[in-house]
Amino acid sequence: MKNDMSVLNRILKTKQEEVTERKNRISERDLMSTLLAGRQRLSMRKALEESATGIIAEFKRKSPSGGFIHEAAGVQEVVGGYVRNGAAACSVLTDTDYFGGSLLDLAMARRVSDIPLLRKDFIVDFYQLAEAVAYGADAVLLIAAALSPAQCRELADAAHGLGLEILLEIHREEELEYVSPEMDIVGINNRNLTTFETDIYTSFRLASQVPVACLKVAESGIRAMETVVALRRLGFRGFLIGEHFMREAQPAQALKNFVGYAD
């Protein structure tokens, strides 16, 4: 964890408290005995490699910087629409305090999705990996800014042991040291998690510094297909888009319009 009391650090402090409380309510053993824990998990990396769009469409109700984006959004309606309208995978925010999500959102998304689901949260403990499995995720986000390199490797190994894939998120050159073969997907976040400001050129700037063998995903600030095309030329195969869709009355229709599908 970084030293400055940034928005990220406030989130992480809350997250540690939340995990401690959850552990007291339900054990890892009970989580791993759920029906969804026994399902065959889907490969998000493979889905992105084979997708014509590469879009990871995100479901989120609010953000720390912008407040509520789409407070009344129904997860099954939105995610089901994403699936029908060309998403390669879906990302579901499960943080409650800062993003208005929940693990129930993830489980409900699983019911209407036959494509990979990413649990997007601030993962700091093995227990959250067990939760991801129990509620239907196929992959989890590990944020370099929130973890030491050793913690990141340890959580990645544990996730793989549960059949989960990893999307490693980086934002700065200094975080390139986190990139290693065990990270299934490398995401370059255009949003600074200290200030929550967005700069789309972060992906363009860091693209050449990520090893060619890594499957690259651009995250945040993507609002036009022209940006996707330009990033594809730099080797990106995934594009995580949330607010651009969720700010619309019909997020799934916004995805459909974005990729240019005909009515």
Give the pLDDT means over successive 10-residue stretches in the chain (263 positions).
Answer: 66 96 95 89 98 96 86 94 97 96 98 98 98 98 96 97 97 95 94 85 95 94 94 96 95 94 43
Told to judge if 27 belongs to the known catalytic residues of this protein, a careful annotator would answer no
Q: What b/e string do you get for 58-84 counting C-beta neighbours within 10 Å, with b at 16 or more? A: bbbbbbeeeeebbeebebeebbbbbbe
- The single residue of 15, 18, 51, 58 carrying the catalytic annotation is 58
Fold of the 7-259 domain: TIM Barrel (3.20.20)
- The single residue of 18, 165, 169, 243 carrying the catalytic annotation is 169
Radius of gyration (Cα) for the chain, nearest Å?
A: 17
Told to judge if 120 belongs to the known catalytic residues of this protein, a careful annotator would answer yes
pLDDT tens digit sequence for 99-145: 999 999 999 999 999 999 999 999 999 999 999 999 999 999 999 99
Told to judge if 58 belongs to the known catalytic residues of this protein, a careful annotator would answer yes
Segments in 52-146 forming alpha helices (H)? 75-84, 103-111, 126-134
Told to judge if 219 belongs to the known catalytic residues of this protein, a careful annotator would answer yes
- The single residue of 15, 62, 120, 216 carrying the catalytic annotation is 120
